[in-house]
Structure 1
Amino acid sequence: MTTHYSIDHWMKYVKDELNDTERVLLENHLYTCDQCLELYIEAVDKQEETLPSISDEAAFMNDIMKKISNENMVIEKVTEKKRPFYQSSIFHYAIAASLTLILMSAGFFQSIIKHTDTIQKAEISVKQQSKTDGLVDKTFAWMDSFDGSKKEDFKK
């Protein structure tokens, strides 16, 4: 069961007369309770009546706009800081290009290509030899071993 707060509570909230823990409780309650949200809006409307009126709205708005533009200028100056040279992309490209040239002149890429060629040739030779071819080769080798042993017997 949710507890609803009175209009007096919401008036204290609007006037900033509550401590931090009570403010947090009321703020969290506003997320879930439409009835209290209406009371809060009513309290804001009542508080608005007590605020002083602005005599020259155009001058007030111009002052605010000047302050905003001044803040924007300060933000732009902060963001315009020049980055160090080592953080620029041209520096990174130069490092990459120089490392590539060093590795090329040392033959690093050629050794990788030779190594991949030997791996590819070994894979191709393993793939091309079928089981029947292997069986035939072993049979001929076995038969050749008999021929070699008979020839040695005849020589003795």
Structure 2
Amino acid sequence: MTTHYSRDHWMKYVKDELNETERIVLEDHLYTCDQCLELYIDAVDKQEEILPSISDEAAFMNDIMKKISNDMVIENVGEKKRPFYQSSIFHYAIAASLTLLLMSAGFFQSIIKHTETIQKAELSVKQEPKSGGLVDKTFAWMDSFEGNKKEDFKK
């Protein structure tokens, strides 16, 4: 049977007054229990009423955006720039130059000639299907049978 938690327990969770293991247990419980989810939402709503209201929302948002952009600039400064030979444009340039080199040397044409030779050899090795030979023999036998009948009529 599922254990349900009280409204006070969820208020402690919302106020961050529980240790980490209890928080994990409560979070996992929220995935499976709709009744406790409603209690949690009520606790969040009550906690929201206690929080102070923001007088100038635009200024507050601008301050947050400035802090985020400053943090991103600091992170970008800490990153090292990759050498040119590790960039993708370098790899594409090498691939294109090798392709042009192989094309100018006739490498791809020799491969095509080789495959044509193999295909011709396969065509010459292929035998006529047995059903085709059987049909030809049957028609030849029928023709000879009809020829014998005609000779019998003439006699």
Q: Partners in 1 of 2:116 and 2:38 — Cα distance?
A: 78
Give the structure 2 partner of residue 23 of structure 1: 23
Residue 73 (structure 1) shift: 4.9
Q: Partners in 2 of 1:111 and 1:57 — Cα distance?
A: 71
TM-score (ref. length: structure 1)? 0.59
Q: Partners in 1 of 2:42 and 2:129 — Cα distance?
A: 89
Give the structure 1 partner of residue 118 of structure 2: 119
Residue 67 (structure 1) shift: 2.0
CA RMSD of aligned residues (A): 3.6
TM-score (ref. length: structure 2)? 0.60
Moved more, 109-118 or 34-43: 109-118
After superposition, what is the alpha-carbon deviation per residue over 1:10-57, rounded to whole angstroms, capped at 9, x for unaligned?
A: 111111111111111111111222221221122222323333343444
Q: 1:111 to 1:26 in 2, by over 3 A?
A: same
Taking only the aligned residue pairs, the percentage that are identical comes to 68
Aligned residues: 131
Residue 130 (structure 1) shift: 8.3
Q: Partners in 2 of 1:67 and 1:102 — Cα distance?
A: 54
Give the structure 2 partner of residue 49 of structure 1: 49
Give the structure 2 partner of residue 38 of structure 1: 38
SS of corresponding position for 1:54: coil
Q: Is there any run of 5+ residues in structure 1 with no aligned partner, and where? A: 133-156
Q: 1:111 to 1:5 in 2, by over 3 A?
A: same
Opposite residue 125 of structure 1, the aligned amino acid is S
Q: Is there any run of 5+ residues in structure 2 with no aligned partner, and where? A: 134-155
Opposite residue 89 of structure 1, the aligned amino acid is I
Residue 9 (structure 1) shift: 0.6
